[in-house]
């Protein structure tokens, strides 16, 4: 299958990041129980206030300047018996002194941090989504292959999988759209994750998302998936969507 071969090829390209992620994992494990902090460069357009408010700007505005910090991304992990039990992410601001045992790893390479956080996310329970968000904010990180894997992994919490699909919808490139399509049409997948994939397709550029949504609306055997595709097509105001509605109503 094309998408699988593409993921495999990208995985080979990401091997240095994977090795770096393993080294970072060893540093975190060596810190022992307590709080581990790290910081890394944010990708272009990401800024925050340091209080949990994060904004992503995709374009330049001549009339307005965001009053927020352009990084870094800051991640705090709480470890108990070698397991991450809590995670928080921020952009900008500065660390408080903290209480208890705090180990600050300082600034780490962004792509390696992203890869490491994405390996943690599937087994982080309700904090998996927080780790995914932080990973997607990392500068120069290619996240969609890992997001696709997490979204398809049945043992992962539903909220974490939905968060993976959401950020997959924001990822650049047509490969991400193909990955979303494969999730949406997978009859063996969780219905809520599939509906999230349909929504994420609606957030893609029209030339990528609309044709796929039209195909789903016409041919998917599951009525909820077809209904979801039709709903988001209705929000698009795309002439092709209007033509589909006219066709279906005749």
Structure tokens at 81: 């018996």
Q: What is the DSSP letter of 42?
A: B
Distance of CA 219 to the CA centre of its chain: 28
- For the question of whether the overall pTM of this predicted structure is more than 0.85, the answer is no
Q: What pLDDT is stored for residue 58 in this prediction?
A: 61
Pair 50, 69: CB distance under 8 Å:
yes
Q: What value does the CA radius of gyration of the chain take, rounded to a whole number of Å? A: 20
pLDDT tens track, the chain, 250 positions: 444 444 444 444 456 677 888 999 999 999 889 999 999 999 988 888 766 678 877 655 556 666 788 889 999 999 998 888 999 999 988 898 877 889 999 999 999 999 999 999 999 888 999 999 999 999 999 898 899 899 988 889 999 999 999 888 877 667 777 888 899 999 888 999 999 999 999 988 888 889 999 999 999 999 999 999 999 999 888 899 989 988 888 7
């Amino acid at each position: 299958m094309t998408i699988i071969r593409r993921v495999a090829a990208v995985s080979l390209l990401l091997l240095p990041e994977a090795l770096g992620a393993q080294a970072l994992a060893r540093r975190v494990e060596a810190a022992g129980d307590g709080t581990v902090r790290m910081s890394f460069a944010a990708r272009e357009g990401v800024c925050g206030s340091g209080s949990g408010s994060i904004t992503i700007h995709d374009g330049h505005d001549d009339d307005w300047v965001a009053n927020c910090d352009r990084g870094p991304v800051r991640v705090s992990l709480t470890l108990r018996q070698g397991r991450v039990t809590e995670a928080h992410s921020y952009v900008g601001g500065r660390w408080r002194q903290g209480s208890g045992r705090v180990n600050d790893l300082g600034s780490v390479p962004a792509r390696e941090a992203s890869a490491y956080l994405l390996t943690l996310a599937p087994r982080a329970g309700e904090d998996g989504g927080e780790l995914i968000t932080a990973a997607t904010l990392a500068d120069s990180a290619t996240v969609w292959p890992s997001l696709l894997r997490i979204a398809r992994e049945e043992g992962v919490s539903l909220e974490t999988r939905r968060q993976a699909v959401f950020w997959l919808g924001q990822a650049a490139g047509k490969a991400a759209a193909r990955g979303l399509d494969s999730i949406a049409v997978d009859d063996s997948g969780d219905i809520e994750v599939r509906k999230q994939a349909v929504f994420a397709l609606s957030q893609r550029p029209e030339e990528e998302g609309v044709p796929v949504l039209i195909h789903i609306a016409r041919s998917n055997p599951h009525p909820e998936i077809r209904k979801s595709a039709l709903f988001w097509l209705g929000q698009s105001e795309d002439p092709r969507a209007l033509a589909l509605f006219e066709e279906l109503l005749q």
